[in-house]
Amino acid sequence: MKKRLGYFIITILLVLSCEKDDINIPQENFDFIPSNIEIPENGIFNELVKIKGENIVLDSLKFYFDDIRVFEFYQPQKDSIFLKIPRNLEKINSNFLIYVKTGERDSLITSKSFSLRPPKINGVNKSATTFGEAITAYGEDFDTTEFTEIYVNDEKAEILSSSKDSIQFIIPNEILTNNLTLKVNAQLQEDILDNSLNLKEPEIIQILDKVHIGDRITIKGENFNLTPEYSKVILNNELEASIENIYNNDSLDIKIPLGPYKEFQINSVKYSTAGMETTYSKPIEIISDYILYAKNNPLYIRETFQHDGNIFSLGSDQNSSQNLHLWKFDIENQMWSKYSDLNIPDTIYAANISNNGEMYIYFPFEENNNFLSINLFSEAIRYLQNFPGKSREYAILIPFSGKVYLGKGITGGTYNPSELHKDLFEYDEVLNSWIEVNTDNSIVYCYNDYEEVNGQYYFFTPDFHNPDFPTNDWPESIVRFDVSSLKFVREYDGCTSCHTEELFEYKNQLFLGVSNTGFIQLYNYFNRNEYLSINGGRFYNHPSKFISVQDNVFFYSNVTNYVGANDGLYMMNPKLLETTFL
């Protein structure tokens, strides 16, 4: 008997010597050594895999994937064990190890290579989709929702549900191209599916046919992106409208920008997203009283003038905000550009343009070279004979028939002037010389806002006093300069509560623009009838100059009833001018 037992133990030791561990197993455990063990070569997380063999005693065995022990297993019958592949595997490939318990030390009896099966995407439930739509991908060896990731063009998608053979997910809004590539991450691996899914082209179906600038309007259509920052709406192929809200794939709200527009019409609305675009080409009428016209804007505009169908301005730019330059506005191209090398300090001055295209500028704080001219045709700058009178601010400067009249004004600021000037001087363009001329004793000053109508010059003055009539004190008045008598004549009361008052000539009629908080009013100056009241607007940055050029009326100012950068040159609606002013 002992001889037979010895032979049997030798046989067991020979079998173990063929495995990776040659540890001697104590004699008392030989009854629990399994044989003919079969192990699967691959599997997926949480999958139950079947271990087959002979003489399997579950309580005598330990199972590992490399150094990760398996704790979930059971034995339904004596020749097999089912164990669950643990989720904490960190590698695709590992060694599956079986140890037998042999007293104080476990002995390795089996080692076999094992790998996680890669996921495989076989297809999707449709070939075309849109943003935010639920899509199902079919395939093999996926995982549960918590342990699966799916990407659309490298953008992570929200997963609604996931199983071994299907994933339901949402098309993300952040994708940038319409050809979609799907990538699934599962089982520590990935699989990619190309050329099986595309985005549907967006389409604009309906927009209002009449709008106001600043309005929020709804665009009806199909297949819009649900996230505004990944879409654009472009008006007239150049002007971006902000997307305010997107309700779903077939409806979005935009805000109609103030401009710039060249006319009171939107000729095209283009929507683009993810490399796709669609254009709505039915004309949309802008029925606002005015539109932003200029495409660019100097940093700060001081005065605006018109001559020979062109608009000129004195203003500073971004690079030299302390200096003034002469700018010209190209009405056709809607652009301001520097027109002259003039580079003068941004201080109080008087300026105006003669009928022959000469701009005259007076600088009260300069002892020398305080009077100059710029030819608007040649851009030539000439320093002329210095002004002979006392230095003064807000002087009256009116060119007329080869002469320039300069005088009146104040010294020491408008709130508490130290001196009120009553004199007037005449400059001769041919002789380049000055003489003092007789005028009245009125006290006036001006912000360079003059309009000529039928040879008469009109301007607004914040204060008008005539000592010859001491009982009459008329602050804030419209004054006419009579070029024949060189007298200043009060024409009408101003508005004591207004922020600005501007005069402009339109088709040989004089109009008065009044700006107050919350409204703008336009009057026919001669009959004082109100022609227009614009609610919700306010112009400031005095002076807010109105200019009539080429049968259009422009003004430069801010519009404060909208949010955004609104400085600029605006144009009034021609239909409003036709029906209201004439």
Q: Is the pLDDT of residue 326 over 80?
A: yes
- Taking residue 515's Cβ as centre, other Cβ atoms within 10 Å add up to 23
- Taking residue 243's Cβ as centre, other Cβ atoms within 10 Å add up to 21
Across 186-195, 211-220, 323-332, 564-573, least confident range: 564-573
Looking at the DSSP bridge assignments, the partners of residue 522 are 513, 532
347-494 classified as CATH 2.40.50.320: no
What pLDDT, on the 0 to 100 scale, is given for residue 522?
Answer: 67
Selection from 178, 183, 176, 173 nearest residue 197 by Cα: 178
Give the mean pLDDT of 86-107. Answer: 90
Burial class (CB in 10 A: 0-12, 13-18, 19+), 117: middle
d(C-alpha 215, C-alpha 219), whole Å: 13
- Which of the following CATH numbers is that of domain 203-288: 2.60.40.10, 3.10.300.10, 3.20.20.70, 1.20.1540.10? 2.60.40.10
Q: Comparing 319 with 398, which gets the higher pLDDT?
A: 398
Chain segment 375-391, per-residue pLDDT in tens? 998 888 899 999 999 99
Chain segment 48-75, per-residue pLDDT in tens? 999 999 988 888 899 999 999 999 999 9
What pLDDT, on the 0 to 100 scale, is given for residue 491?
Answer: 78
Q: Comparing 78 with 493, which gets the higher pLDDT?
A: 78
Share of the chain above pLDDT 70, in %: 80
Mean pLDDT taken over the chain:
83
User: What is the DSSP track for 52-120?
Assistant: EEES--GGGEEEEETTEE---EEEEETTEEEEEPPTT---SEEEEEEEEEETTEEEEEEEEEEEEPPPE
Q: Is the pLDDT of residue 559 over 90?
A: no
Of 10-19, 50-59, 312-321, highest mean pLDDT: 50-59
Q: Is the pLDDT of residue 514 over 80?
A: no
Chain segment 448-480, per-residue pLDDT in tens? 778 887 778 888 777 655 555 444 444 567 788
d(C-alpha 514, C-alpha 522), whole Å: 6
User: What CATH homologous superfamily does 120-199 map to?
Assistant: Immunoglobulins (2.60.40.10)
pTM above 0.95, yes or no: no
Chain segment 123-176, per-residue pLDDT in tens? 999 999 999 999 999 999 999 999 999 999 999 999 999 999 999 999 999 999
Selection from 351, 354, 350, 344 nearest residue 428 by Cα: 354
CATH fold group of domain 2-116: Immunoglobulin-like (2.60.40)
What pLDDT, on the 0 to 100 scale, is given for residue 473?
Answer: 47
d(C-alpha 479, C-alpha 469), whole Å: 16
What pLDDT, on the 0 to 100 scale, is given for residue 279?
Answer: 97
Give the mean pLDDT of 492-510. Answer: 66
Chain segment 261-287, per-residue pLDDT in tens? 999 999 999 999 999 999 999 999 999
Band of residue 359 on the pLDDT scale cut at 50, 70, 90: very high
d(C-alpha 293, C-alpha 236), whole Å: 13
Q: Do 21 and 109 touch, CB atoms closer than 8 A?
A: yes
One fold for both 120-199 and 203-288? yes
Band of residue 34 on the pLDDT scale cut at 50, 70, 90: confident
Share of the chain above pLDDT 90, in %: 53
Give the mean pLDDT of 236-251. Answer: 94
In the chain, where the domains are located: 2-116, 120-199, 203-288, 347-494
Chain segment 412-429, per-residue pLDDT in tens? 876 677 888 999 999 999
Q: Comparing 5 with 362, which gets the higher pLDDT?
A: 362
What pLDDT, on the 0 to 100 scale, is given for residue 319?
Answer: 67
d(C-alpha 420, C-alpha 407), whole Å: 11
What pLDDT, on the 0 to 100 scale, is given for residue 496?
Answer: 52
